[in-house]
Structure formats: C-alpha cells, structure tokens
Amino acid sequence: MEFTAGMIARILNGTVEGDPETKLNTVARIEEGKTGALSFLSNPKYEPYLYTTDASAVLVRNDFVPSKEVRATLIRVDDPYQALARLLAFYEQAKPVRKGIHPTAVIDESATVGPDVFIGACAVISENAVIGDGCSIHPQVFIGENVTIGKNCTLHPGVKVYRDCVIGNDCIIHAGAVIGADGFGFAPVSDANFMKIPQIGNVILEDNVEIGSNTCVDRATMGSTIIRRGVKLDNLIQVGHNVEIGENTVIAAQSGLAGSTRVGRNCMFGGQVGLAGHLSIADGVRIGAQSGVMSTISEENSILLGYPATDSKQFLRSVAYIRRLPDLSSKVDQLSKTVESLKNR
C-alpha cells in the first residue's frame, strides 16, 4: 500500500514542508529510515538522526525548528507520536477483515455467535457462551461456560477465558493470557497443610481493555475481579483475586497485584512493580519500575519509587546519599584513627 506525503498530511490534519508527492510505502524508526519509509521525531534526543536518516518523510511537531538542513520531507503535526498511532490504526483498519468459522472449531449448540465473526482452527466455545458481533477468536482459544464477550473483540491464539467471565466491547486479549483462573486462596489447617478455598466469583473486563501476552487475571473468591474501561495491561502481569483496576490505568510488564487491592483511575506503573494485598491506590498515582508498595497510597497524582516505595524526590535524595557511602565510610575510618591517636597521647 502506497501513500504520498500530502495524503498522509490530510489524514493527520498536518502540513507538508517539502515535496507533497513523496512516495511512502512503509514506516521505520528514524535511526533505521530508508527510502520510501515514514519516520517520526518525538523525543528530542533523536534529533541528530533527522539530519542523517534515509527516510523519505518524517513526522515532526508544528513548532519544531531544525538546526541543520533536512533531506527528508517534513510532515508537521501537533503530536508526532500520537499522529503515528492514528496512522497505524488507519492502516490496520484498511486490512481485509477475516470472517467465517473454521471446520475444526468446536462450538456448543447452546452457544450464541453473532454475525461477522471469525473463529479459528481448534477454538472451543463452551455451553451458553455468547460471542458478540464482529469478534475475532483465533486458533486454539478456549471460551468457558457462560462466558459473555461483547462486540468487536479480538482474542489471539491460545487465550483461555474461564467460566462465567464477562468481556466488554472492543477488547484485545493477546496470546496465552488467562482470564478467570482460580485466585490464590488457601486456608491453613491444624496439621500444617493448606485447604483450597473455592473461587466462586468471576472476572469482568469493561470496554476497550487490552491484556498482554501471558498475563493472568484471577477470578474473585466471591464477587468479581474488575478491570475497568480503557485499562492497558502489558505482558506477564499477575492480577490477583478481587483486585479492581480503575479506568485508563496502564501497567507495564512483570508487575504483580496481590488480592483485594484497589487501583484508582489514570495510574501508571512501571515494569516489575509489586503491590501487597488489600491496599488502595489513589487516582493518578505513578510508580517507578521495580518499586514495592507495602501500604495504601492516599495522595492523588503522587510519584513513588523504590522499595518500599516512597516519594520520588525523597528516594532520589536517598540514592544520592547511598552513592556517597564509600567516601563517608573512609572519612569515618580516618576520624576513628585520629581519635585513637589523640587518646594514646
């Protein structure tokens, strides 16, 4: 599929600086640009590549002023990164949509399957499941009993959705994710063994949720584990039973949320963040990578780092002191020697 710089500028409500007839047939990072490629400049530290890239066109901010001559055609937009996302979404929508049911798919006669659905090879749709209009159920997906899936959802190969779970509209679940496995509930008994607590709740994903590959969202012991509208979870995340994640929160890979924790709206967690159970996290909280949260965070829009997680400025001051410890230790040793010398006199 080929576009001109002028066509792309019209799609993005941008302007062209250079040749509007520049032909574009692919996208590439600015440091790897080649003829026919569209790149983008969002982070200022990549600006040097703008003057050396072989990309035919580059998305830049409206107010960007180059410090050298630029060979590529510039397409000026309000936000290059957002513009690229819109352009890629436009490209994705232009692809032909797969429809139809593969002959090896197993669909229980009590299940309800909407129109314009794709169901791939060896997928299993269990009793009383409901698949909404326009969904794509890829090969080897398992949909359990009484599961409800809304419209225009995509479940990639190997996704497992256990019984009674509810998935909203326009959700994407990537390969290997498990929705609704048992929560980690065990009661100690007198002989030092553990008795399994039945997990009789479910999982609810609201609209426009995206779940990364091999992420696990456990079903509630009672009630529901709830992932609110617009939440984005990266790969390899563990969400414990009865957790609730607020609207438009994003969580990076390898994070873990212990049971019954409540996360507010518009939060951002870096990779490998760990949250203890039964906590509340206020709206807009940002937590840096590898931080461990041991207590409730009540202040909205706060920024935390470290283990245990603390105010980011306080944490950075602590790190600065830690870096000085070897020098301070040497000075203390020297002072101790001086004091001993004075005592001996």
**DSSP readout, 160-216?**
EE-TT-EE-SS-EE-TT-EEEEPP--EEE-TTS-EEEPP---EEEE-TT-EE-TT-E
Asked if 185 and 300 sit in the same domain, the reply is: yes
How is residue 114 annotated by DSSP? -
| Active-site residue (options: 138, 156, 174, 241) | 241
CATH of the domain at 217: 2.160.10.10
Asked if 164 and 262 sit in the same domain, the reply is: yes
Asked if 187 and 301 sit in the same domain, the reply is: yes
In which domain, by residue range, is 263 found?
159-308
How is residue 151 annotated by DSSP? T
Is there a domain that residue 255 lies in?
yes
CA–CA separation, 135 and 286 (whole Å): 33
Enumerate residue ranges in the chain where pLDDT < 70: none
Please count the structural domains in the chain: 2
Q: Which residue has the tokens 């409901």?
A: 130
Is there a domain that residue 177 lies in?
yes
Asked if 164 and 80 sit in the same domain, the reply is: no
Asked if 194 and 293 sit in the same domain, the reply is: yes
Asked if 210 and 294 sit in the same domain, the reply is: yes
Is there a domain that residue 128 lies in?
no
The yes-or-no answer on residue 241 being catalytic is yes
The pTM score is 0.85
* Structural domain ending residue among the three candidates 65, 94, 123: 94
Asked if 202 and 284 sit in the same domain, the reply is: yes
CA–CA separation, 206 and 225 (whole Å): 11
pLDDT at 192: 78
Residues contacting residue 329 through CB under 8 Å, at least 6 positions apart: none
pLDDT at 268: 98
Is there a domain that residue 138 lies in?
no
Distance from CA of residue 3 to its chain's centroid? Answer: 30
pLDDT at 237: 98
Single-letter amino acid code for the residue at 151: K
Asked if 282 and 171 sit in the same domain, the reply is: yes
Distance from CA of residue 172 to its chain's centroid? Answer: 11
Single-letter amino acid code for the residue at 155: L
Asked if 183 and 302 sit in the same domain, the reply is: yes
CA–CA separation, 230 and 248 (whole Å): 4
Beta bridge partners of 27: 38
Asked if 166 and 294 sit in the same domain, the reply is: yes
